[in-house]
Amino acid sequence: MKRRTIIFLLLSILLLASCELVQDQPPQGKVYGVFIGLDYRNTTFTNPADEYGRLLPLKGTLNDAREMKTAFGHIAGLAKLEMDSYLMYQEGDTKDQSTYEMITVGGTPIRSYASKANLALLLDALTDAIKEEDLLILTYHGHGGEDVLFMAPESNDDYDIELKVTEKLLKELQPIKGRKLVILDSCESGMSVPASESSVSLVRSPSLSDWFDTYFSDKPYAIPPVTLFTATAHTDSYEMGDDHIHGVFTLALLEALGGSHDEDDGFHMGTEIPAKHNGVISVDSLYRYIKQHQKLPLRTTIYRPASMYQHPMTNGGAMDFILFRL
């Protein structure tokens, strides 16, 4: 026990004394955004791993996806970058995909209905469109479980909606060039954050010896091919609001980007960007803002017990991921 305490103290000193590191940044090209939101009013899917059973309708996820699209589009404009944004959604009780508008990527028409098949078509089309200097941001707002997301049902097949994050989504993203950020606002989303040779998962391998071995490893630093940024670790993620509802994590993220709400004008983007630090917006600056400002505690403790709490996670490691230079 004493040895572990000493290791922990040494790591703390080294981390506090270290300089801020950033990934090598290629010339900033075009920004692509995929924003996914589902309310689940058209599915009767029952999640056997969920104590509540059926996927209950969600009230804030469509607000999340639509306003994230607006916010990132505004930031890209401030950075003088061109951005193509695609909203994929499921809304209401219909499964009729013909009621959803078409998305066109490089001449490929795709329904905006947020099914697994349509998302796969969109990512495949983006593989041909995105270049090395480009940035892809994909956000998901919906139900989740351990390393799984729940997409919209195809026709009457309610039971083919599970999208495995590690086995499927991240593999579909691998052929896409450029830098990639995936933001997940769903329960247990941190279970999809993998460990690497240069970082550890706080959910899957929290021991001090893992920290020590990784920090002092002589292996080359490995930048993750896809950066994940999640609402929570292994707990639930929550929605909040009265008339206008949002995910707790997404609301803090919107505020970090300069978004705000009022009764008269609804959602709008302001001139100040709280997450801007030294002229840039990065995953680290967004992470720090959310930890400090989200409307739920990060954890429950003996001294401050909380029935609802969530702690955001990322797999960025020591190298910060710059998204925009302003």
Domain containing residue 122: CATH number: 3.40.50.1460
Average pLDDT, the chain: 85
Cα–Cα distances (Å) from 118 to 140, 182, 241, 294, in that order, read 14, 18, 31, 32
Domain assignment present for 68: yes
Q: Does residue 89 sit within a domain? A: yes
Regarding beta strands 31-38 and 135-141, do their DSSP bridges make them parallel or antiparallel, or are they unpaired?
Answer: parallel
Residue count (the chain): 326
Q: In this model, does residue 193 exceed pLDDT 90?
A: no
Tell me the pTM: 0.86
pLDDT value, residue 307: 86
- Do 59 and 245 form a contact (C-beta atoms < 8 A)? yes
Say what the pLDDT of residue 94 is. 92
d(CA 126, CA 87): 14
Task: Determine how many CB atoms are found less than 10 A away from the CB of residue 123.
Answer: 20
* Domain range for 202: 25-325
Q: Which residue has the higher pLDDT, 324 or 243?
A: 324
pLDDT at 4 over 60: no
Mean pLDDT of 21-27: 56
In whole angstroms, what is the distance from residue 103 CA to residue 35 CA? 12
Encoding tokens for residue 62?
């469509």
Question: pLDDT higher for 210 or 278?
Answer: 278
Closest by CA position to 118, among listed 147, 161, 158: 161
Confirm whether 2 is domain-assigned: no
Residue 55 binned pLDDT confidence (cut-offs 50, 70, 90): confident
Span 97-115, average pLDDT: 95
| Residue 167 within a domain | yes
Q: Is pLDDT larger for residue 318 or for residue 169? A: 169
Flag whether 10 is in a domain: no
What does the alpha-carbon distance between residue 227 and residue 212 come to, in Å, rounded to a whole number?
22
Structural domain contains residue 18:
no
Domain count, the chain: 1
* Residue 15 located in a structural domain: no
Per-residue model confidence (pLDDT) at position 16: 45
The share of the chain scoring above pLDDT 70, in percent, equals 79
Radius of gyration from C-alpha coordinates of the chain? 20
CA distance 97 to 222: 41
Mean pLDDT of 290-308: 87
Q: Say if 20 falls within a structural domain.
A: no
Which pLDDT value is given to residue 14?
45
Better-scored residue on pLDDT, 226 or 1: 226
pLDDT in tens, 258-270: 999 987 668 999 9
pLDDT at 170 exceeding the cut of 80: yes
- Please determine, for residue 93, whether its predicted confidence score (pLDDT) is greater than 90: yes
Name the residue with higher pLDDT: 299 or 32.
32
